Structure 1
Amino acid sequence: MLLPTAALLAATVAGCADGTQASRTATPGPGSGTAAGRRVPGDPQEALHLAEQLLIKKCMERRGYRYWVEERPAPGGASRFPYVVDDPAWAARHGYGTDLYRERQQEALRDPNQRYFRSMPADRAPELLSALNGPQPRGISARLPNGITVTHSDRGCVAEAERGLYKDLPAWFRATRVTDSLGGMRVNMVLTDRRYLAAVKPWARCMRAKGHPYPTPAEARAAATRPDQEWPHAREVRLASAEAACAGSGDLSAVAKSLDTAYRAELRRRHPGPTADLDRLRREALPRARAIVAGGD
């Protein structure tokens, strides 16, 4: 999520139906040097992410700009627990994760990419963004299952890095955007499934018994994370801990996980091309990514 006060430098990763580009905040990690001497992450997704970042950095420096490598963002509370908070230890520490969100806000204010962008003369800032994201959101596109077409520039350092790593940039764009949209569809399918709704009812009774009369986990989370009414952390933790306890005392968590698995498989069957392409492109790119990170590119 872009922060209004700090989201000045953004790497474009998705297009919008009206042709405007959507962005993500650049959140650099501790390493911003050359690839030589870096340890190759064991996690394939970490290796792919780091390699892409190093390619972006190399491209930006070749164009006369600085760029700091960004870490792969950790999942927030909503993405970690889309159906119900069911980890008591996590809830006792983070509640619904607003503490982590505030930490990311502070990190964004200290982000060297953001500071660098803010230091640019006004007439050069658009040039920097164009170098990073491409001049216009044109060149590659993908039609999502809901019928919306998203677009992205096939120029700029983000596109150059993805092309260098995955080779087939249009296929990579289509595969990532379609599978991302399938994730949102899957969550909605679970939340509206009659089996999930049936499992929510005893969870809600458990919550009422604990003094928290929220009919669904989504409404409990919304109450604790309203942007116009910030809760004290201790209060948020109490509510999230009650939610986790009630999830553990019934079958809501198990039902949600079972449905999530089933709908994930169903959507893969219904949309085999993009999911298969994504797996293939990642698999083929992994040796290149490891070579890039190790300095062998």
Structure 2
Amino acid sequence: MYSYSDADYEVIRSAEQILTRDCMKHFGLTYRPTKNPAPAVAQDRRYGLTDMDSAARYGYRVPPQQETPEASLTKDQIKVLYGKRSLGEGATKSPGLEYRGKKIPDEGCLGSAVLGFRRPYEDKAGAEVASRISTESYETSQKASAVRAVFEKWSSCMKQKSYDYASPMDALQTPAFLRGKLSADEKKTAVADVACKQRTDLPEIWFDAESSIQKEMIRTDVTALKRLGGLHQKKLSAARKILAGA
């Protein structure tokens, strides 16, 4: 309710692409909305690495996103699509752009479509509350007795596999696993990590603990969050209407 799912983001982005296309059409230019690449599976690392296939193939690295080939754009399309950004550094100080006698939005059709669609649904105060709750609940959850207990079980499981980590976040943040070439050792460690999470039900226990904490925090800011949630739903509804009429 207070944040968007991957599916929600796809609906919103697709609607913004349609608005961009319509803006380009106003200038007599074609624009084919691009499709989002398929989202990588289980990329939410809030509770550490949890996807076994990803661990076996990429270790702790984020799997590469599938590239979506962009249709080649002409200079005119680039100019109208990106506006002043198409001019490079210092573009914001340049005079307004035109195309065939029509003024181009400073942000270009893309920026104008995105900003214009999002602006009515912005709620800075509500977003700050949601962000604060997300951050504080995560930090607090790591001190919860149930989470500390499952960390110990996970750590014990890892020791049985010859790895010494106090928490799953320690493994995820190992310096050698953050940079340089992906090694066989990293992949083996990641696989052991996920296996121990599965054996101990760590993600589920951690999620339940944090959810309980969040519910208590939400009660103190329910008015702001209800307003934010309402705007999210209105934004999604508007996006779906745009797609339905495309």
TM normalised by structure 2 equals 0.68
Given the alignment of the two structures, is residue 245 of structure 1 paired with residue 210 of structure 2, yes or no?
no
From 77, 83, 96, the counterpart of 2:60: 96
SS of equivalent to 1:212: coil
From 107, 131, 134, the counterpart of 2:107: 131
**Which residue does the alignment assign to 2:3?**
none
**Which residue does the alignment assign to 2:140?**
189
Given the alignment of the two structures, is residue 48 of structure 1 paired with residue 12 of structure 2, yes or no?
yes
- Unaligned stretches of 5+ residues in structure 1: 1-42, 134-154
Cα gap change, 1:180/1:74 in structure 2, threshold over 3 Å: closer, same or farther? Answer: farther
The answer to which structure has the higher strand fraction is 1
CA distance in structure 2 between the aligned counterparts of 1:52 and 1:169, rounded to whole angstroms? 14
**Which residue does the alignment assign to 1:274?**
224
**Which residue does the alignment assign to 1:262?**
212
Cα gap change, 1:57/1:87 in structure 2, threshold over 3 Å: closer, same or farther? Answer: same
Cα gap change, 1:258/1:73 in structure 2, threshold over 3 Å: closer, same or farther? Answer: same
SS of equivalent to 2:36: coil
SS of equivalent to 1:84: coil
Cα gap change, 1:51/1:111 in structure 2, threshold over 3 Å: closer, same or farther? Answer: same
Q: Give CA deviations for 1:79-111 in whole Å, capped at 9, x if unaligned.
A: 51312334434433443343x2xx24x849x76
Q: Give CA deviations for 1:120-139 in whole Å, capped at 9, x if unaligned.
A: 44368547995169xxxxxx
Given the alignment of the two structures, is residue 201 of structure 1 paired with residue 165 of structure 2, yes or no?
no
Given the alignment of the two structures, is residue 80 of structure 1 paired with residue 44 of structure 2, yes or no?
yes
- Mapping 1:161-200, distance limit 5 Å: 161-163=117-119, 168-171=120-123, 173-200=124-151
SS of equivalent to 1:80: coil
Deviation at 1:293, TM superposition (A): 0.9
TM normalised by structure 1 equals 0.58
Residue 122 of structure 1 aligns to which amino acid in structure 2? G
Q: Give CA deviations for 1:137-178 in whole Å, capped at 9, x if unaligned.
A: xxxxxxxxxxxxxxxxxx954321113xxxx3443x443443
Given the alignment of the two structures, is residue 160 of structure 1 paired with residue 116 of structure 2, yes or no?
yes
Cα gap change, 1:267/1:74 in structure 2, threshold over 3 Å: closer, same or farther? Answer: farther
- Unaligned stretches of 5+ residues in structure 2: 1-6, 95-103
Q: 1:247·1:253 contact (CA, 8 Å) conserved in 2?
A: yes
Query: Alignment identity in percent?
Result: 22
**Which residue does the alignment assign to 1:220?**
171
Name the structure, 1 or 2, with higher relative contact order (CA <8 Å, separation 6+). Answer: 2
